[in-house]
């Protein structure tokens, strides 16, 4: 059984931050029920759906990835009868998660203050751009906004160049990760209190948290950290260097590693006694990096990886997707998995990074068809009869 197999989640999320959080919990065995509007379903069903490279039978990569291990129930929450049906499901659930804009859950009648009257043990989670309190909770937000306003973009990119966002959507993904942490924390506290609570996740808060020690440095000194590209603000050389084939990472963190590198390269300039200490190396970092680059570009990446390994100098290749997703270590840890589809085929996706020694990995189930599990869930959870289901279906409450 999965570690979260006793947890039932009603998933009202869309796009990325919310679906990513519920996907992580579904991967760990949670019974995750997507509540989708009839007819059109959740918005990510349509993303990339018409792209022949990134879709299968009209379902795009977003939905294929973020909806595995979930079930789909179509209920029209804008109709009173549909909302009443949702409240009945809340009585059977543990968690309700959404990433609507601030204030929307209350307007829809699905916020914690409303749902706790139907189930005092319910845990709700809202992921928004800026949280649900403070002077401006209703500012519009998406991944790039979170990255930009969270401070991280100001130190990303090369010195003197325009700010650069991270290649992966860390604004959205960070919100999803912290939402999962918050939900699991609330579930744990419920063991002692017997009561639920609301988890308020701000994407901007998450970005501020991930500034970590660099924020502390600024708060101590008032000095804005510079953008240093792939370099380091202390260690030299530290960064990426171009070989004859692909880029290589070198990380000489300290005097000992620098001296090893200088002797390995057999470069009298780099072995100069003046470069023995870090402050001098930092002052002459451009010269040192240029000298190292002149050596590195003469051989291919694999040559240098072997040499650096022999001299026990920290190094690694810069992998593109082809290298990263075929790395033997990645494959051995089941980080590329075959996800079955309802048409009998399968699609490869990133696996679950959480490895638990005492919990058996749950079998992967396909991303659901729109409303595929409506009757199954409503009959098993709410004991609705076939005639009741037919009446709801005919009135457009469910699909």
**Candidate list 11, 27, 172, 200, residue with the active-site label:** 172
List the 238-242 sheet strands across, edge first: 238-242, 247-251, 315-317
Q: 3-state SS string over the chain? A: CCCCCCCEEEECCCCCHHHHHHHHHHHCCCEEEEEECCCCCCHHHCCCCCCCCCEECCEEHHHHHHCCCEEEEEECCCCHHHHHHHHHHHHHCCEEEECCCCCHHHHHCCCHHHHCCCCCCCEEEEEECCCCCCCCCCCCCCHHHHHHHCCHHHHCCCCCCCCCCCCCCHHHHHHHHHHHHHHHHHHHHHHHHCCCCEEEEEHHHHHHHHHHHHHHHHHHHCCCCCCCCCCCCCCCCEEEEECCCCEEEEECCCHHHHHHHHHHHCCCCCCCHHHCCHHHHHHCHHHHHHHHHHHHCCCCHHHHHHHHHHCCCCEEECCCHHHHCCCHHHHHCCCEEEEECCCCCEEEEECCCCCCCCCCCCCCCCCCCCCCCHHHHHHHHHCCCHHHHHHHHHCCCEC
State the CB neighbour count (10 A cutoff) for residue 307: 14
Q: What is the pLDDT of residue 361?
A: 81
| Residues making up the chain, counted from first to last | 399
Q: What is the pLDDT of residue 322?
A: 98
CA terminus-to-terminus distance, the chain: 31
State the CB neighbour count (10 A cutoff) for residue 290: 10
Cα 285 → chain centroid? 34
Q: What is the pLDDT of residue 140?
A: 87
Burial of 156 from C-beta contacts in 10 A (0-12 / 13-18 / 19+) = middle
CA gap 201, 173 in Å, rounded: 12
Q: What is the pLDDT of residue 39?
A: 86
- 234 phi/psi in degrees, rounded to 5: -130, -50
CA gap 164, 333 in Å, rounded: 32
List the 8-11 sheet strands across, edge first: 70-74, 31-36, 8-11, 95-98, 123-128, 198-202
Q: What is the pLDDT of residue 340?
A: 97
> What does the pLDDT profile of the chain (399 residues) look like in tens digits?
899 999 999 999 999 999 999 999 999 999 999 999 998 999 899 999 999 999 999 999 999 999 999 999 999 999 999 999 999 999 999 999 999 999 999 999 999 999 999 999 999 999 999 999 999 999 989 999 999 999 999 999 998 999 999 999 999 999 999 999 999 999 999 999 999 999 999 999 999 999 999 999 999 999 999 998 999 989 999 999 999 999 999 999 999 999 999 999 999 999 999 999 999 999 999 999 999 999 999 999 999 999 999 999 999 999 999 999 999 999 999 999 999 999 999 999 999 999 999 998 889 999 999 999 999 999 999 999 999 999 999 999 999
pTM of the model: 0.95
Active site residue 320: no
């Amino acid at each position: 059984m999965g570690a979260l197999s006793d947890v039932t989640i009603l998933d009202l999320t869309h796009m990325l931050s919310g679906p990513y959080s519920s996907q992580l919990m579904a991967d760990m065995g949670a019974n995750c029920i997507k509540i989708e509007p009839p007819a059109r379903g959740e918005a990510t069903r349509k993303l990339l759906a018409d792209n022949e490279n990134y879709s299968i039978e009209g379902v795009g990569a977003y939905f294929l990835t973020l909806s595995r291990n979930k079930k789909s129930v179509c209920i029209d929450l804008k109709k009173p009868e549909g909302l009443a049906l949702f409240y009945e499901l809340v009585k059977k659930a543990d968690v309700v998660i959404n990433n609507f804009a601030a204030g929307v859950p209350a307007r829809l009648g699905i916020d914690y203050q409303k749902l706790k009257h139907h189930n005092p043990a319910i845990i709700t989670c809202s992921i928004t751009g800026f949280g649900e309190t403070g002077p401006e909770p209703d500012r519009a937000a998406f991944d790039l906004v979170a990255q930009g306003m969270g401070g991280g973009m100001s130190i990303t990119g090369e010195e003197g160049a325009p700010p650069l966002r991270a290649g992966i959507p860390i604004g959205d993904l960070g919100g999803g990760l912290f939402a999962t942490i918050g939900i699991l924390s609330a579930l744990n506290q419920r063991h002692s209190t017997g009561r639920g609570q609301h988890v308020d996740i701000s994407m901007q808060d998450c970005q501020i948290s991930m500034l970590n020690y660099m924020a502390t440095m600024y708060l101590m000194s008032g000095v804005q950290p510079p953008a240093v590209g792939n370099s380091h603000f202390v260690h030299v050389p530290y960064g990426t260097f171009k070989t004859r084939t692909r880029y290589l990472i070198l990380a000489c963190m300290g005097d000992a590693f620098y001296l090893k590198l200088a002797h390995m390269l057999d470069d009298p300039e780099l072995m100069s006694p003046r470069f023995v200490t870090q402050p001098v190396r930092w002052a002459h970092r451009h010269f040192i990096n240029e000298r190292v680059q002149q050596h590195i570009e003469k051989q291919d990446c694999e040559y240098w990886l072997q040499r650096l390994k022999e001299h026990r100098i920290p190094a690694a290749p810069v992998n593109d997707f082809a290298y990263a997703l075929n790395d033997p270590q990645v494959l051995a840890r089941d980080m590329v998995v075959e996800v079955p589809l309802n048409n009998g085929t399968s699609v490869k996706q990133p696996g679950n990074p959480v490895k638990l020694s005492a919990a058996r990995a749950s079998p992967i189930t396909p991303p659901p068809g729109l409303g595929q599990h409506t009757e199954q869930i409503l009959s098993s959870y709410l004991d609705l009869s076939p005639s009741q289901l037919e009446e709801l279906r005919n009135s457009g409450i469910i699909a």
